[in-house]
Amino acid sequence: MNPYPHPIIAREGWPFLALAVGVSAGVTWIGGWWSAPFWLVALFVLQFFRDPARPIPTAANLVLAPADGRIVVVGKARDPYLDRDALKISVFMNVFNVHSNRSPVDGEIRNAWYHPGSFLNAALDKASLENERNALHIVTNNGAAITCVQVAGLVARRILCYVKPGDRLARGQRYGFIRFGSRVDLYLPPDARPLVQVGDKVAASASVLAELPG
Biggest CA pair distance of the chain: 65
Among candidate residues 90, 100, 182, 207, the one labeled active-site is 182
Q: Is 35 a catalytic residue?
A: no
Burial (CB < 10 A; 0-12, 13-18, 19+), residue 138, is buried
- Count of beta carbons in the 10 Å neighbourhood of residue 162: 13
Q: Confirm if 93 and 127 have CB atoms less than 8 A apart.
A: no
- Count of beta carbons in the 10 Å neighbourhood of residue 143: 10
Residues 6+ apart with CB under 8 A from 141: 60, 106, 107
Q: Confirm if 185 and 90 have CB atoms less than 8 A apart.
A: yes
* Chain centroid offset of residue 188 CA: 16
How far, in Å, are 4, 41, 73, 78, 80 from residue 99 at the CA level?
Answer: 14, 17, 19, 26, 24
Tell me if residue 80 falls in helix, strand or coil: coil
Q: Which residues are catalytic?
A: 182
